Amino acid sequence: MFFTKASIPESPRLADIRLMDATSLSSISSCGHPLDTCGHAWGELRDSSPIRKDTSALRQRMREEGHLFFRGFFPRDLIARARISLLERLAENEGLFDRTHPLSEGVLVAEIKSPIGFTPEAALGNTALQRVVFGPEIQEFYTRFLGGVVRHFDYIWVRSMGPGSGTRPHCDIVYMGRGTRELYTAWIPYGDVTYDIGGLIILEKSHLQSDRIAKYLNSDVDTFCSNNPERHGWKFGGALSTNPVSLQKKFGGRWLGAEFRMGDLLTFRTDTVHASLDNHSDRLRLSTDTRYQLATEPVDERWVGENPIGHGPAGRRGLIC
Ligand SMILES: [Fe+2]
């Protein structure tokens, strides 16, 4: 088990959480591949805050760009409290953090040389985190954006990414496509995420090229060949590619990223290709993915309820291959 019954360390104060200094783009990479940061291959995410209250403009931008990025969408203190809550829970695993630094900085011990990955346990009963992802700011946003009563998936994807490789390029629909396709992901960073720490990247206008990856978009990672149980529904565990550089060249759009700050929100379609940058720092990168849709639309049963079945055995579907 990741968590131990060790005592919870002393709480860091909100004031300990400071703005990180910006770093340079010179050494960014994803999945071990250095990214081309020339203007034809790389760009900054555009802040949609100026049109935050203009629902029709937001819908149009989502149709055209496949994502919306908001600086300072949430009050910074709200995110800081959730960050502290996550760090305190993770610190129950003794030997993870370098305690010569304040826990709030999330500095890992030198022996941690690889991403830690999903830590969904850190979301269970975590009221500070649930206040962010199911709270009034996000509820009001998706209600206006979708034009009706919204529901969210109950499952919260918590990512705790230490030094090492980022997430491979993928579209979310292959993990959650058994309900409506009018489903949106909210990616929220819990900390200031400079380029050396990594962060999510979006492949520009990739949702407009869905025809070329139709087979991929119609796949489901939890299917398997019932006549050959060793063969899964999709190779690479749902990734579209293992190489973000060659994928960008094939698609032609730029990778779009930002140095994120606590309070930022990035929301995107489930057919938008995205990945994450590698973490070259000694700090933990914390983020959540949560999903929202109209309550009247069908929902993927794997991700709702008190104990969502997720990608477990109950969620698997057999096909004749
Ligand atoms: Fe994703």
Ligand 1 centre distance from Cα of residue 84 (Å): 24
User: Is residue 235 in some structural domain?
Assistant: yes
2 part of a folded domain: no
Ligand 1 centroid to Cα of residue 319, in Å, is: 25
CATH number of residue 50's parent domain: 2.60.120.620
**202-249 confidence digits (pLDDT tens):** 999 999 999 999 999 998 888 777 777 666 555 567 899 999 999 999
Judge whether 22 lies within some domain: no
C-alpha–C-alpha distance, residues 93 and 6, integer Å: 7
pLDDT digits (tens, 9 = 90+) for 131-185: 999 999 999 999 999 999 999 999 999 999 999 999 999 999 999 999 999 999 9
Cα–Cα distances in Å, from 30 out to 97, 98, 166?
24, 25, 6
Average pLDDT of the chain is 88
How much is the pTM? 0.89
Q: How far is the CA of 12 from the centre of ligand 1 (A)?
A: 30
Q: Is residue 224 situated within a structural domain?
A: yes
- Which residues are placed with Cβ below 5 angstroms of ligand 1, an ion? 172
Ligand 1 centre and the CA of 13: distance in Å? 31
Does position 254 have pLDDT exceeding 90, yes or no? yes
Number of structural domains the chain divides into: 1
Lowest mean per-residue pLDDT among 3-17, 34-48, 87-101, 136-150: 3-17
Let me know if residue 21 belongs to a domain. Answer: no
Residues in the chain: 321
Q: Are 272 and 245 in contact (CB under 8 A)?
A: no
Domain contains 195? yes
Tokens of 24: 């340079």
**Which is higher by pLDDT, 321 or 41?**
41
CA–centroid distance, 15 to ligand 1, in Å, is: 31
Cα–ligand 1 centroid distance for 2 (angstroms): 23
In this structure, are residues 133 and 189 in contact, taking their beta carbons and an 8 Å threshold?
no
CA of 36 to the centre of ligand 1 (A): 22
Contacts 24+ apart (CB under 8 A), 235-238: 236/168, 238/170, 238/174, 238/175
**Could you read off the pLDDT of 11-41 as tens digits, one per residue?**
334 444 444 455 677 779 999 999 999 999 9
Tell me how far the alpha carbon of residue 128 lies from the centroid of ligand 1, in angstroms. 23
Q: Decide if 246 is inside a domain.
A: yes
Q: How far is the CA of 52 from the centre of ligand 1 (A)?
A: 23
- Is residue 253 situated within a structural domain? yes
Span from the CA of 16 to the centroid of ligand 1 (angstroms): 30
CA of 183 from ligand 1 middle (Å) equals 12
The parent domain of residue 254 ranges over 29-319
